Every structure is written in C-alpha cells, then in structure tokens.
Chains A and B, each alone.
Chain A
Amino acid sequence: MAAQCLLEVNELTIEVRAGDKVYPAVRDLSFRINAGEAVALVGESGSGKSLTAQAILGILPKETTRLASGNVFFGGSRIAGGGTQTPKGLRGTEIAMVFQDPVSSLNPLIVVGDQIAEMFREHRGDSRAAARKATLELMEQVGLPDPLERYKQYPHELSGGLRQRVMIAIALSLKPRLLIADEPTTALDVTIQAQLMDLILRLKEEYGLAVLLITHDLALAAEATSKIVVMYAGRAMEIGPLAEVYERPDHPYTASLLRAVPSDVGGSSDLYPIPGTPPDPAHSVPGCPFHPRCYMATPRCKTSTPRLEAVLDPDMHAGLADPSRYSACHYRDAIVPIPIVPGVVSRD
C-alpha cells in the first residue's frame, strides 16, 4: 500500500498578534495526508487547529497572524512557506473548504444555484446553460431536494443543513483533491449531522477525495476518519492511526481526553474530567504544555519540551520504532493508564 502523500505540513509555526503581544499559536506542527485519506485534526478551543486550516488554505488574516516558519507542500510542490501564502488559484480547484457557519460563507443577495454555477463559469469557462446543467446535477448529488426549486432560493430561505449542502456542492464543484472541513456540523442538529457526514464520506469515496476534518468531537472524528492528529496548545501531541490511538494512546493528553468523553459505550457511567483549565495560547508554560494537567508529569516535564517522535512498537523487538505512531511525551514508550480516582457520585 504505497500511498501517495498529497499534503505535507512541515514544522509549521504561526504567530498571532494580540495588542502589542506576539505569540506562537501553532508551533512546529508536522503531519501528512495521503491521497484519498481522511485525517482528523482534533483539539480543544485554542489548540490552533483552525489556524492550521487557514494556513493550508492561505487565508490567515494578515493583520493579526503570520506564517512565521515552516512549509506546506501539496502534491509534491511547496505552496506555502518562505514568505509566501497558498496561492488563491489552488483554493476551490485543488483544495476546497467547508466551514462551520455557512451563513457567512454564502452571498445573501444571490440565489444559491447561481452561486454554485459561478464556480463552473469562472473556473471552467462554462456557458450559462452548461453551468446551470452541471449545477442541477451537482445539487442532486449532494442531496438537495427539488434542485429546480432550490436553484432559485436565497440562502436565508434554506435551513442550516441545506445551506451546508450548498457549501459542499460549491466545494466539490471543481473536483478538488483535498477537502478541508472545519467543524462542518457543529452548528447543526445531530440527525442533520449524521446526514451530512454520511454525504461527505460517500463523496469522498466517489471522488477519491482526501479529507481533513477539523473538530473538537472525538466521536465524530472516529466515525469519519482513519488517522488522527491530536493538538494541544498549538502543538501536535500525538499522531497515529485513529483506532490504534483510541485503543492505546501514546500520550497522557490523548488518554485523558478520551477518558473525559462522557460516553457510555464502555458500560461505565462514571465521569473523569481533566483537572485544571485549557491553556491560554497567549501564556505559554515552560516545558511540556500539558504538564500542569498531566497525571504523569515529572520535574523534567516542567523544564524540557518533548519533541514529537516515533513511538517504539511494543509488538516488535526492542528498539524498533513504529513508523505510524508519534507522540510528544518524554515517556512516550511507557505511557501508563490513568489512575482511577474514586469520588464519582453515583447517579442514583
């Protein structure tokens, strides 16, 4: 399975300016997405996951953010880094995006059909009639009922779920190779979320599309992707095949985060929050950013920042690294389970 690397983010650092303070909100972030692969970029608020998406797309707000160092490669060539941002020409054609809030992404004064058709006219030079025909076909494909009727409607006449389908139609109109979906279903109800994720995954298969799903929802990531990048305070804490990471995390943060999900599947209804508060990106702590909340922290963690490195494969002979698992923990090869602290009040 010699998968072809489609996107490579290499040592990416993004600086944010707030007032007269400049701080790195994303630090030395590296990960890859293969062609046709679905990858989840997971983290809590302030972890830097949305900034990463903006940097890949070349839409970092110029006034407040700066791609300070690192590179982004797409299909083998550098598209961002060394003082340049991803060129506009790639957006929509090769790399497409779907955001959380379709209301602000659509023009309220233009009927949705024309907004989709514009992609064909602008980028493919289609005639009015050809663009309209392609639009109606695409609307059908993304599950917009009665395309002829919907074509003439304005964004405000559609529900949130249908607006997001319009955004997906626009995103996929030019058959891009990578779809970046930033919290695409967070504002929607769960039954609509299920419909849309079903659609995105179906289109992924049909188009051979690679997907970067940015989300705070570990369960959504599990249903939709096969590889995960766990971010905390602007850094990648752990990278690996999703199911393997969920079954045997190689970083205490991943272990804590998975344990904090109030899910009942394990049969236990106990709750295990992560102590402390999520990090404030403007105030970085020395050493490992997770050490103030970590159950494994030692004095070393307070002074020395661990790098993201390959984890030794427990099934292999000593000394062999697992080429798919990476962790940024000093104790990556000896992660212990979270100590279970009783004190949880029973529901009855």
Chain B
Amino acid sequence: MTSATPLLRVEDLHVAFPIRSSYLRRVVGYVEAVAGISFDLDAGQTVGLVGESGCGKSTTARAIVGLTPIRQGHVDLNGHTIRVGTAGARSAINPEIQMVFQDPFTSLNPRLKGFQVISEGWEVNKRLLPHKEWSSEAARLLGAVGLPHDYLTRYPSQLSGGERQRLAIARALAIRPKLLICDEATSALDVSVKTQLLLLFQRLQAETGISYLFITHDTDVVRHLAQHVLVMYLGKIMEAGPTDAVFRRPMHPYTQALLSSVPRLRPWQRQGRRKRIILRGEVPSIVNPPSGCRFRTRCWKAAAICASTEPQLEPGDSMRKIACHFPEADHGESSPY
C-alpha cells in the first residue's frame, strides 16, 4: 500500500449516530461507531476488514458507499475526494463503488427477473451501455458469475442462496465498478457453496483487476482473499498489515484472541497447535467506550497506562501497524493461527 495514488483512501474516518432524548428527541450526544480509521486500497487488491459485531466494520462500508453520512475525515477515490465529513447531507452514490450484501433473500427485488435485476443499473445510468447491447451483456455477466443463461428469465425465489448471491454479484458488476464492497457476502451460505463463491471472487479479480473490500467476521474469507487485513474493535483499528504476517503472527492481544477463538478443523494435529485464549466478558457498550485502550477491559495484559493513554497505531515488523502499549509476537515459533 505504498503507490502514489491508491484507488481508495480512507483518512481519519469518523461516523457518529446521534443519541436523542426520549421525550423531545433532542440530540443529547453521539455514539461514535467508527472513531477515526485510515487505510489505503490499491487497484486490483483486496483489503479485509474483520471484527466482531458492533465493531463498526459495516458502518465503515456504508460510509464509503455513501449510505451513511460521515462526521469527520474523508474518502478519496482515485485521488478525488468523494466524501467529506461535514454536517451536510449524504453525498451522491458513486457508480464506481458497488456493494454486495449478506442476505441474498432480502437484497434482491422478488418481482424482478434475472435480466431486470442486472439491467437496473443501466436503466439508471443511461450512458453506461447502449440499449441494444443489454441482453448480450446481461448474458455475458451471468456466464461470468457461473449461472446458466436461462436464469435471465427466472425470479429470485426460483434460485438457491448461492445462486442469488451470484446474481447479486452480476448486478454489481454490471455497472463496471472499480471497487466492490462485500459485506458478509458469503456468511449466509453453506460451506460447499461459500467456497465456490470465494473462487469466483478470486477469478473475477484476476480477469478484471477489480478491487475488493471484504467486510466479514469470517477470518477464513480474509485469509483466502485479502492481501491486507484490518482488525477492528469498538470503532478503532487494533492491528493492520499484510494478511500473511498478521494471521501467522498476530501481535495485538485482540488479534491473538480473535484468531485463537476460531475452531480448528483438525485440533489434534500438532501443526495447528496454538494457545487457546478465551477472553473474559463481553464487548463493552460503544455508547460508553472504555478510557484509553478500548480493548483493555478484556485484555490480560492491561496495565495502568492502558486506561490513561490511548495507544496509537504504530509501525511494527512485517509492514504492520499495531495499536497496543504491549504488542508482542506470539511465543509459538511459527504457529499458524
């Protein structure tokens, strides 16, 4: 992530939701769902944004797409600022950024057939594609996502979950976006189908050079698709860096705990051995985040400084950054988390 102009640059992004009083609905404060995160995404690359529910990863995606206003910071696409944090209204949706959502049952209009689902975007952006090319392009897109051509005339209710998600991807690709944001796009699918889609995402990137931002709680997805990973907790980035380095040797206690909580397929194999970290307690409320480091209430390393001083994202080894006062390599020599 060092090239001059990245495809996407997110700088000091803050997203806050107003808290209103129960009676007069006056704004009495704000919940900072995303509390200042920055990252770059280069063309043709994939960034994975992982974290547990409530960490702000989906809000980050919605802010980049323009579905939710941002409070502070800015988002640049190809060097042009497309969103800035002001009190102003939400900015225009940018066709170069498309999104695929988790639930293929609610994200597709049940009254539209496959062809209409795909051509909707051309309807809105008339200059994108001459009308006479619509049917051939729709058929090509179906082929690209691995669906038979006769699905152009089928309704979503006639498709399985995996097929619907393929159709949703075809719809997103129809606009020829530079960036596809996938918010838990494979989370609702069975493992055999999920793996099919991961392969599809890989193939589409190799063929078209599209960039992905994968928002997920599924570390397997990130491991397979993303060159870079951002680990979020309560609205902040805890650790960021090349996926291989971060997953092989996580240095932030939260990353260590998160990865060690993922069940292993063959726990009896020595190769997969790692120390199991079971965190105490639950994620604190984002309305009232802990002082200092936001992870300190569940961290086994927490000391006085963690409550008084918030650790900043600082460079560590292997091109990564860690926001921790006591970052540490895992003791296992090369234990694959």
Contact = CB atoms under 8 A, between A and B. Distances in A.
Nearest to A256: B192
Contacts of B202: 271, 344-345, 347
A156 B225 CA distance: 37
B191 A191 contact: no
B264 A260 contact: no
Interface stretch (A6-14, A24-32, A73-81, A262-270): A262-270
Nearest to B221: A262
B192 A44 contact: yes
A219 B263 contact: yes
A44 B190 contact: yes
A191 B279 contact: yes
Interface stretch (A120-128, A272-280, A295-303, A323-331): A272-280
Interface in B261-300: 261-269, 271-272, 276, 278-279, 281-283
Nearest to B205: A345
B67 interface: no
Nearest to A189: B52
A265 B203 contact: no
Interface in B2-43: none
B195 A265 contact: no
B268 A243 contact: yes
A272 B195 contact: yes
A193 B264 contact: no
Q: Tell me whether chain A's interface is mostly helix, strand or loop, or mixed.
A: loop
B262 A190 contact: yes
Contacts of A243: 266, 268
Contacts of B282: 159, 161-162, 192
Contacts of B153: none
B278 A195 contact: yes
A51 to B, nearest CB: 17
B264 A191 contact: no
A162 B219 CA distance: 24
A206 to B, nearest CB: 17
Interface string B171-206: 000000000000000000011111110110011011
A44 B268 CA distance: 24
Contact of A265 (B52, B271, B279): B271
B223 A262 contact: yes
Contacts of B205: 345
A257 interface: yes
A262 B58 CA distance: 23
B265 A344 contact: no
Given A223-B264, A262-B220, A265-B336, A277 B279 contact: no
Nearest to A258: B265
A145 interface: yes
A280 B267 CA distance: 32
B82 to A, nearest CB: 28
Given A262-B220, A264-B223, A277-B160, A216 B264 contact: no
Contact of B195 (A190, A193, A260): A260
B258 interface: yes
A189 B247 CA distance: 18
A280 B163 CA distance: 13
B118 to A, nearest CB: 20
Contacts of B263: 193, 197, 217, 219-220, 222-223
A348 B247 CA distance: 16
Contact of B198 (A223, A262, A264, A266): A262
Nearest to A220: B263
A161 B247 CA distance: 26
B227 interface: yes
A34 interface: no
Specify which of B160, B195, B225, B257 lies most central, judged by the most chain A CB atoms within 10 Å of its CB.
B195
Interface string A145-171: 100000000000001011000000000
B191 A271 contact: no
Contacts of A140: none
A198 interface: yes
Contact of A194 (B266, B267, B276): B276
B266 A222 contact: yes
B53 interface: yes
Contacts of B53: 189
Contacts of A274: 192, 195-196
Contacts of B220: 261-264
Residue from A265, A272, A348 with most neighbouring chain B CB atoms (10 Å): A265
B320 interface: no
A278 B161 CA distance: 10
B217 interface: yes
B262 A269 contact: no
Contacts of A191: 52, 257-258, 261, 278-279
B66 interface: no
Nearest to B243: A347
A338 B162 CA distance: 23
A32 B283 CA distance: 39
Contact of B264 (A257, A258, A263): A263
9 contacts: A198-B278, A222-B264, A262-B195, A264-B220, A265-B264, A267-B271, A267-B336, A277-B193, A278-B193
Given A190-B217, A265-B265, A278-B192, 14 more contacts: A44-B192, A189-B52, A194-B261, A217-B263, A258-B265, A262-B220, A263-B264, A263-B265, A265-B272, A267-B336, A273-B192, A273-B193, A273-B196, A275-B196
Interface of B: 52-53, 160-163, 190-196, 198-199, 202-203, 205-206, 217, 219-221, 223-225, 227, 247, 257-258, 260-269, 271-272, 276, 278-279, 281-283, 336
Q: Sorted from nearest, which 5 A-B pairs have the closest CB atoms?
A: A273-B195, A219-B263, A274-B192, A189-B52, A194-B261
